[in-house]
Amino acid sequence: MKLFNTLALLAATALPAISFAENSTISSDWLAKERFMIRGRLINVEPDETSTTSLGGSVNADSTVVPELDITYFFNKNWAAELILATSKHDMSHESPTLDLGDVWILPPTLNTAIPFSAG
């Protein structure tokens, strides 16, 4: 446990030094186009449908492939914030007895902190 606490303390003191490192490739202008990356892709949303009901049987949710928009803002070459935007519609059903439970929209907007790696 003492080793874990020591490593955690070292990481906590090293991260601020890394985040404020000088970056010569990104403009100092906060709205420069070099600070943004916008991507589009397809994702598969696979809900975890583990459930129990008072009717017995189980609840099922179908999986869906949907478009996703990803906007990344680079604070410097070592740190970025990534906003992931996507919504998906899932058909819900109950088995034993068979019931249509309707549709559910899932809206999981996500904001991540990213540490970009450079090959060069």
User: 15-48: per-residue pLDDT in tens?
Assistant: 443 433 444 467 788 888 889 999 999 988 888 7
91 vs 7, more confident = 91
5 vs 40, more confident = 40
Bridge partners of 83, per DSSP, are: 71, 111
For residue 68, give both structure tokens.
């996703």
Give the mean pLDDT of the chain. 77
Query: What pLDDT sits at residue 18?
Result: 41
State the CB neighbour count (10 A cutoff) for residue 50.
7
The Cα-based distances of 56 to 14, 84, 94, 103 in angstroms read 53, 37, 9, 21
